[in-house]
């Protein structure tokens, strides 16, 4: 009963927030609606008994990713209205419906065959976090380490791309002036 009420409430809220995200013409509204939708999605994880995943969703998405977007938006001119493509609406809606149905088929195909057995069944008497730890550090140890290396690569790439020349406001110069400014210095500063 309460599960049904929670499910429908959060489903409505999530769909409404993401609908605002894709339809609004203000970038700030899109950012705040997306952050709210991320938090509402973590409610589904808590309903489904995946507490660790829900906590990670809140910490990573609404903590790290949204903060990163918020800081990134300081570089862009977000106060003006966003221009949008005005293509054929029926083609867009039709294509997205077909693609979404394909996703359902992909997820439902193993279920139809009715011979699913759990590879890593839930352990009795252990919390969700403990189960996740046991599976993550035995079977999925190598993907875990590779994901860590990939995060390191992403961090270095972010620093190299965005961190140079922060003291100069390069948006106020023309490209020729920037080229002249950096002629004597390291050539790779701006690239």
The reply on whether position 43 binds other proteins by CB under 8 A is: no
Structure token digits, residue 160: 């190299």
**CA angle 21-58-108, nearest 5°?**
70
The reply on whether position 30 binds other proteins by CB under 8 A is: yes
The reply on whether position 60 binds other proteins by CB under 8 A is: yes
Pick between residue 166 and residue 184 the one whose CB is nearest to other proteins.
166
Gap between the Cα atoms of 109 and 111, Å rounded: 5
Gap between the Cα atoms of 144 and 141, Å rounded: 5
Contact 19, 36 (CB under 8 A): no
Q: State which of residues 9, 141, 151, 189 lies at the interface with other proteins (CB under 8 A).
A: 151
Q: State which of residues 175, 184, 187, 188 lies at the interface with other proteins (CB under 8 A).
A: 175
The reply on whether position 70 binds other proteins by CB under 8 A is: no
The reply on whether position 94 binds other proteins by CB under 8 A is: no
The reply on whether position 171 binds other proteins by CB under 8 A is: yes
* Residue 1 to residues 12, 81, 132, Cα–Cα distance (Å): 17, 43, 28
Size of residue set near other proteins by CB under 8 A: 85
Q: For tokens 């050539």, what's the residue?
A: 187
Q: What's the closest the beta carbon of residue 92 comes to other proteins, in angstroms?
A: 5
The helix or strand, by DSSP H or E, that contains position 175, with its residue range, turns out to be helix 175-181
Q: What's the closest the beta carbon of residue 43 comes to other proteins, in angstroms?
A: 11
Q: State which of residues 9, 64, 141, 189 lies at the interface with other proteins (CB under 8 A).
A: 64
């Amino acid at each position: 009963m309460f599960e049904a009420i929670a499910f429908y409430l959060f489903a409505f809220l999530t769909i409404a927030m993401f609908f605002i995200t894709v339809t609004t013409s203000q970038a700030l509204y899109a950012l705040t609606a997306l952050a709210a939708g991320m938090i509402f999605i973590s409610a589904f994880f808590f309903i489904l008994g995946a507490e660790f995943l829900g906590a990670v969703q809140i910490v990573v998405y609404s903590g790290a990713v949204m903060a990163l977007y918020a800081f990134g938006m300081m570089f862009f001119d977000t106060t003006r209205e966003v221009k949008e493509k005005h293509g054929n609406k029926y083609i867009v809606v039709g294509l997205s419906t077909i693609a979404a149905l394909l996703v359902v088929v992909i997820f439902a195909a193993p279920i139809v065959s009715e011979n699913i057995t759990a590879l890593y069944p839930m352990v009795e008497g252990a919390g969700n976090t403990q189960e996740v730890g046991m599976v993550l550090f035995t079977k999925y140890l190598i993907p875990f380490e590779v994901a860590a290396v990939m995060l390191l690569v992403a961090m270095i790439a972010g620093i190299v791309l965005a961190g140079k020349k922060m003291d100069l406001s390069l948006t106020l110069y023309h490209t020729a002036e920037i080229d002249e400014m950096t002629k004597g210095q390291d050539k790779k500063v701006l690239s």
